[in-house]
Amino acid sequence: MNATGPGSIRLRGRAWRFGDDVDTDQIIPARYAIYSLDERRLGEHAMEGVPGVGPGWAQRVRPGDVIVAGSNFGCGSSREIAPIAIRGAGIACVVAASFARIFFRNAINLGYPIVQSPAAAAAVEEGDEVEVDLEAGVVRDLTTGREHPAEPFPPFMTELMRTGGLVPWVRRRLEERRQGVG
């Protein structure tokens, strides 16, 4: 993650395009659930269940790249390993027209940035260089020079992101309460 000073989280990388209704079995086929505790291992198989993609996709990803997908991304099971696999592959952020509810919760609880932007999902093309500004709620396509509005991250979600997800966030909040800060 590339944080450029307080109050702003920006991510920059190449776009990988996917369509609508990419389900959790396409993101990480169930047979790899045995690697649940090994994020890198999961990452090697990320997205290989997507028709027409197949094994080897993750090897072409450069750390910091982003996924830009259509609607209902992450539908299917409640498997928490789906966002973990994507993160393990080196993808810095997922931009989609919409997310399935449980995928959305799981990603946020892991502190993994996902951004809803129907405009970017419609316009960004494979290989475009994009910059995602989480707090401003903007996806900039640096290749085409166009800006696409996205749902901005409210301050507390940014805080969740910075602390690395729900577990460390709760730990810190408890600590603050004990010290009478929170």
Please state, as a whole number, how many other Cβ atoms lie within 10 Å of the Cβ of residue 126: 10
Least distance in angstroms from the C-beta of 110 to other proteins:
9
Q: Which of the 8 DSSP states describes residue 151?
A: P
Least distance in angstroms from the C-beta of 2 to other proteins:
22
Residues 128, 120 contacting (CB under 8 angstroms): no
Whole-angstrom Cα distance, residue 106 to residue 79? 8
Chain residues 78-137 in contact with other proteins, contact rule CB under 8 A: 78, 80, 98, 100-102, 104-106, 108-109, 116
Chain residues 149-178 in contact with other proteins, contact rule CB under 8 A: 151, 153-154, 156-157, 160, 166-167, 170-171, 173-174
From first CA to last CA, the distance across the chain in angstroms is 27
Question: 3-class secondary structure for 50-101?
Answer: CCCCCCCHHHHCCCCCEEEECCCECECCCCCHHHHHHHHCCCCEEEECCECH
Q: Which is nearer to other proteins, 45 or 148 (by Cβ)?
A: 148
The region of 36-44, 51-59, 85-93, 146-154 touching other proteins under the rule CB under 8 A is 146-154
Chain residues in the site for other proteins (CB under 8 A): 72, 75, 78, 80, 98, 100-102, 104-106, 108-109, 116, 151, 153-154, 156-157, 160, 166-167, 170-171, 173-174
